[in-house]
Amino acid sequence: MDARIFYQDGDVTVRTLMEQDIEPLCREEALQGWPVRDACYRGRLQDMAQGRCVALCALWHGEPAGYVNLYDGADDGPYAGAGLPQIVDFAVLEKYRRRGIGTRLMDVAERLAAGRADAVCLAVGLHSGYGSAQRMYVKRGYVPDGTGAWYRGAQLAQYAPCVNDDDLVLHMQKRWNP
C-alpha cells in the first residue's frame, strides 16, 4: 500500500504509517526508555487495512518522528458507541519535540475527524508523563467529559483505589461548533 500524504512542508511530512516506520520508531522509543511496541504498530497497520482507522506518521526530514491514530469510534469509555471519531496513541519522539510536529499531526487528525462528525474524543493519561499532552489538548480546545477518571476501561467510583499508570485516564472531547 502506498502512503497517503496529508501534510508536507520543508521539514514535516504527515502521511499514513508504513511498515518501514516501525523499526525506527521502536528503536527511538527504546532509547527513550519507552516499551518497545512493535506489535502495537503492526496492529495499527492491520486496523488501517481493515478500514477501522487512519494511522498517521509524522516525518522530520524523512525520519519517523511521531504518530497518532484516528479511529472511527471508541470501543470503551464514555464515548463507546457514540459514533464519534477517537484520537488514540499520540506521541512525538523526545528528540523531535518543540518543532511543531505534534501540532501538524493533531491538525491532520482533527481535519479528518471534522469530516466525519461534529466532535472528536480522546483519553489522556493522568500521570506526569502525559503532562505535555494534557496541556496541549486543553490549549486545542479539548474539554473533560465530566465522568472523572477511568481505569482499565471502567469509570472509577469516588475514592476507589487505582494505580497511576498508563491505564488511568481522563476522557475529553472537542466540538467543532460548540
Q: What is the pLDDT of residues 50-92, one digit of tens each?
A: 999 999 999 999 999 999 999 999 988 999 999 999 999 999 9
Q: Which residue has the cell 484520537?
A: 87
Q: Model confidence over 112-156: pLDDT tens digits?
A: 999 999 999 999 999 998 998 999 999 999 999 999 999 999 999
pLDDT tier at 178, thresholds 50, 70, 90: low
Where b means 16+ CB within 10 Å and e means fewer, 102-133 reads bebbbebbbebbeeebebbbbbbbbeeebeeb
Burial class (CB in 10 A: 0-12, 13-18, 19+), 167: middle
Q: Model confidence over 19-52: pLDDT tens digits?
A: 999 999 999 999 998 888 889 999 999 999 999 9
Number of domains present in the structure of the chain: 1
Is residue 72 within 8 Å of 52, Cβ to Cβ? yes
Non-local CB neighbours of 82 within 8 Å, separated by 6+ positions: 73, 74, 121
pTM above 0.95, yes or no: no
CATH number for position 89: 3.40.630.30
CA dist 59 and 20 (Å) reads 12
- Domain with 61, as residue range(s), is 5-175
Given a cut of 80, whether residue 7 has pLDDT beyond it is yes
